Chain A
Amino acid sequence: MSTAIEFNNISKQYRLGLVSTRTLNHDLKRWWTVNVLRKEDPYLKIGEVNDRATKGESEYVWALRDISFKVEQGDVVGIIGRNGAGKSTLLKILSKVTGPTTGTIRARGRIGSLLEVGTGFHQEMTGRENIFLNGAILGMTKSEIARKLDEIVDFSGCERYIDTPVKRYSSGMSVRLGFAVAAFLDPEILVVDEVLAVGDAEFQKKAIGKMQDVSRSEGRTVLFVSHNMVSIQQLCHTGLLLKNGMIETSGPISDVVNIYLSNIKTVNDYNRHGNGAVKTTDFKTSATRVDVGHDIEVDFDIEAYQHVDILEAEIEIKDSNGQNLANISNTDAGTLIKPMEKGEKRHFHCLIKNINFAPGNYTANIWLGSPYATYDKVEDCIRFNVIQTEEFILRPIPYYSSYRVILQSEWDI
């Protein structure tokens, strides 16, 4: 199989805020540096990682940063990620709607894109006229559309209204018509943004069925963006997970979806309390499944909102009944935390060794505080599943669930 699309270090920078004299100033400065001084664009260096929720310093953000990957011919790729991760920007660049800031994309074959249904529909024109206009906008020729007209009308289920202006249509009907036109596009590479979530349940089923047919037909390469994990797993073979404009992971679709689902919550989605002097801003665990007796790693970022002299970090592990099991502290490990200035950010890495808990589900809190106050406690943000293996448990039946720990032992009999 050959490569159908090749992304090489694709980056896209956006400027935030309003167009004003400040932008004019930047534009003039950029023009001067690039065209007169023959140097690099000064604003390309100062972009920040695009995290929508945190307040940034720079006006410039990278919506995409150094995206490189290859898509095999005939592959159906699902692109997933949270809102603002860069999915649509990536598709827009591939569809040539906007250019990349740096990098190149090479592709074999005609690229057809469907970023929105019913693009270019004119309210005053009839359904039939709009089918032709929309089809031509998407890159079909008149004769091609005329040949498929009956099928399109039939698929849309709007036959009765086909000679009525689209402004008389219900919103669902115009969406159906728009999707029907797009469904009959046949380029070698098809790019589809979140458009399957349109119409009623019956039409959605029909739309996904049609997309399955499209992606199964010979040699067609399809790139999908969707937030619907069920339909994406039905349609795609390969997954690409984007986070803050960068590739988090890629691989078989089910693996990528699992990773996405376990990462989907942010630190703000959990119960938390404390005086807020220092807060956890992000965290990550190395795995959501761990074999009995093995290690787990926790990474978290913290930020001080006021000066603190004393800071301790703890990870509090509980079982599924809420019973406290272990309190893991940096102090116990002999790693003391230096005082933090206001606005200072730090990254902590904690390796929890030899998890000898009984098989089952566990949760943990991340606690930041001092002996006198709790700064921030994020409850149940870490979740992991301990799996029974023969390394420590040789009995052929499950370990008794009423016992919470496993202790290794040596016997002389």
Chain B
Amino acid sequence: MTESQEWTTVIQPKDKLWSVDFKELWGYRDLYTLFIKRNIITQYKQTILGTMWFVIQPILTVLMYMVVFGGIAGIATDGIPQPLFYLAGTCMWQYFSDCLSKTSNTFVTNSGLFGKVYFPRLIVPVANVTSNLLRFGIQLGLFVVVYIVYSIIGCPASMNWYALLFPVLVLMMAGLSLGFGILISSMTTKYRDLQILFTFILQLWMYATPIVYPLSLVKGKTAAGIDLYTVMHLNPVTPVLETFKYGVLGAGEFIGWGWLAYSFVFMVILLIFGVVIFNKTQKSFMDTV
């Protein structure tokens, strides 16, 4: 055995580009579950309504959409009852945006912890994305209740086989929000400008995703000579949302396997890229945060 092989830890200024130590991550799996537990326990401590807020928030949002987009603007909902249509979009989008806004300031909010002890930093955003699933699940439960109520009183919404894609769709939402989140968190440690810009972008992003309107509404519409229908497909969140709404509600038409695959590949590349940048940042961020 040579001298260099005996060393178990080597600390140096720069690592290889891809330096994710999966063995190390696995060693910290208990920390991952404990972080999830912490996130859940502490979320609504000392509020009277507690987890009821998970349900109240989407209800209020949907009511607002019904008034503003359904009522005042009169935007069609593909023949689906407005509460169901908006709720489907809101649940999915809420999960995405919650994960994204939480993971996008991983370094800044955890600087106190990160400055004092080392553990694979990636655990924190991954745990955030996982613990947000609880909230998503409760909101999905609300959706199911509303869905059942509507099926009893009779409505044109009809579930089809594409609904079986649901677990994959959630995984894609989680992957996309994690990828964007860790990328943004790495870029905002030193210059916080991006963070301010980002809250604004997140708002715009929601309107660029078919949530308060069906994708079919955009067909044939152009802005400044650009075909909006195609451009909207490029938003990686669009195929996920559209597939969900089509599978569960039968709203509109299936976006196509091609676009779904595009979204998936987008997610994979984004995650790889995000993890590389994130790992690069975690080494030096304490000096700049």
Report which A residues bind B (CB closer than 8 A): 14-15, 19, 23-24, 27, 92-111, 113, 115-116, 119-120, 122, 124-125, 129, 132-133, 136-142
Interface size on B, residues (CB 8 A): 37
* A-contact 0/1 string along B7-35, CB 8 Å cutoff: 11111111000000000000110110111
- How far is the CB of B115 from the nearest CB of chain A, in Å? 6
Inter-chain contacts of B114 with A (CB < 8 A): 97
- How far is the CB of A143 from the nearest CB of chain B, in Å? 8
- How far is the CB of B234 from the nearest CB of chain A, in Å? 29
| Chain B: CB-nearest residue to A12 | B287
State which of A23, A107, A113, A141 has its C-beta within 8 Å of the C-beta of B30: A141
- How far is the CB of A288 from the nearest CB of chain B, in Å? 37
| Chain B: CB-nearest residue to A141 | B30
Are B117 and A133 in contact (CB-based, < 8 A)?
Answer: no
Are A104 and B117 in contact (CB-based, < 8 A)?
Answer: no
- How far is the CB of A293 from the nearest CB of chain B, in Å? 50
- How far is the CB of B110 from the nearest CB of chain A, in Å? 9
Q: 8 Å CB contacts to A: which residues of B266-289?
A: 283-284, 286-288
Q: A109-B8, A122-B38, A129-B38 are known contacts; what are 15 more A-B pairs with Cβ within 8 Å?
A: A93-B11, A98-B283, A99-B12, A104-B11, A106-B4, A113-B117, A120-B117, A122-B42, A124-B41, A125-B38, A129-B37, A136-B34, A141-B27, A141-B30, A142-B34
Decide yes or no whether B162 CB sits under 8 A from chain A.
no
- Given known A-B contacts A19-B190, A106-B9, A125 and B117 have beta carbons under 8 A apart: no
- Given known A-B contacts A19-B288, A96-B11, A96-B118, A125 and B34 have beta carbons under 8 A apart: no
Are B118 and A113 in contact (CB-based, < 8 A)?
Answer: yes
Taken together as a complex, chains A and B put the C-alpha atoms of A102 and B14 apart, in Å, by 9
Report which B residues bind A (CB closer than 8 A): 4, 6-14, 27-28, 30-31, 33-35, 37-38, 41-42, 45-46, 113-119, 190-191, 283-284, 286-288
Inter-chain contacts of B30 with A (CB < 8 A): 136, 140-142
Taken together as a complex, chains A and B put the C-alpha atoms of A92 and B116 apart, in Å, by 8
Are A97 and B41 in contact (CB-based, < 8 A)?
Answer: no
Inter-chain contacts of A99 with B (CB < 8 A): 11-14, 283-284
| Chain B: CB-nearest residue to A138 | B117
- Given known A-B contacts A99-B11, A99-B283, A107-B7, A139 and B119 have beta carbons under 8 A apart: yes
Are A137 and B113 in contact (CB-based, < 8 A)?
Answer: yes
Taken together as a complex, chains A and B put the C-alpha atoms of A108 and B11 apart, in Å, by 12
- Given known A-B contacts A100-B13, A108-B6, A115-B116, A133 and B286 have beta carbons under 8 A apart: no
Are B13 and A101 in contact (CB-based, < 8 A)?
Answer: yes
| Chain A: CB-nearest residue to B114 | A97
Inter-chain contacts of B12 with A (CB < 8 A): 99-100, 103-105
Are B11 and A98 in contact (CB-based, < 8 A)?
Answer: no
Inter-chain contacts of A27 with B (CB < 8 A): 190
The 6 closest A-B pairs by CB, nearest first: A96-B118, A136-B31, A99-B283, A105-B11, A107-B9, A142-B30
| Chain B: CB-nearest residue to A100 | B13
Are B284 and A98 in contact (CB-based, < 8 A)?
Answer: yes
Are B10 and A104 in contact (CB-based, < 8 A)?
Answer: yes
Inter-chain contacts of B118 with A (CB < 8 A): 95-97, 113
Taken together as a complex, chains A and B put the C-alpha atoms of A138 and B117 apart, in Å, by 7
Inter-chain contacts of A106 with B (CB < 8 A): 4, 7, 9-11
- How far is the CB of B108 from the nearest CB of chain A, in Å? 13
Inter-chain contacts of B286 with A (CB < 8 A): 92, 97-98
Taken together as a complex, chains A and B put the C-alpha atoms of A122 and B177 apart, in Å, by 26
Taken together as a complex, chains A and B put the C-alpha atoms of A97 and B286 apart, in Å, by 7
Are B191 and A115 in contact (CB-based, < 8 A)?
Answer: no
State which of A19, A113, A137 has its C-beta within 8 Å of the C-beta of B191: A19
| Chain A: CB-nearest residue to B190 | A19
Are A120 and B113 in contact (CB-based, < 8 A)?
Answer: yes
| Chain B: CB-nearest residue to A23 | B190
Inter-chain contacts of A102 with B (CB < 8 A): 13
| Chain A: CB-nearest residue to B4 | A106
| Chain A: CB-nearest residue to B113 | A120
- How far is the CB of B105 from the nearest CB of chain A, in Å? 16
Inter-chain contacts of A93 with B (CB < 8 A): 11
Inter-chain contacts of A104 with B (CB < 8 A): 10-12
| Chain A: CB-nearest residue to B119 | A137
Taken together as a complex, chains A and B put the C-alpha atoms of A141 and B29 apart, in Å, by 8
Inter-chain contacts of B7 with A (CB < 8 A): 106-108
Q: List 27 A-B contacts (CB under 8 A).
A: A14-B287, A19-B191, A19-B288, A23-B190, A27-B190, A92-B286, A94-B11, A95-B117, A95-B118, A96-B11, A97-B116, A98-B284, A99-B283, A105-B10, A106-B7, A106-B11, A107-B11, A108-B8, A109-B8, A110-B8, A113-B117, A124-B45, A129-B38, A133-B38, A141-B27, A142-B33, A142-B34
Taken together as a complex, chains A and B put the C-alpha atoms of A102 and B191 apart, in Å, by 24
Question: Looking at B10, B34, B114, B119, which has the most chain A CB atoms within 10 Å of its CB?
Answer: B34
Inter-chain contacts of A136 with B (CB < 8 A): 28, 30-31, 34
Taken together as a complex, chains A and B put the C-alpha atoms of A137 and B115 apart, in Å, by 12
Taken together as a complex, chains A and B put the C-alpha atoms of A396 and B235 apart, in Å, by 96
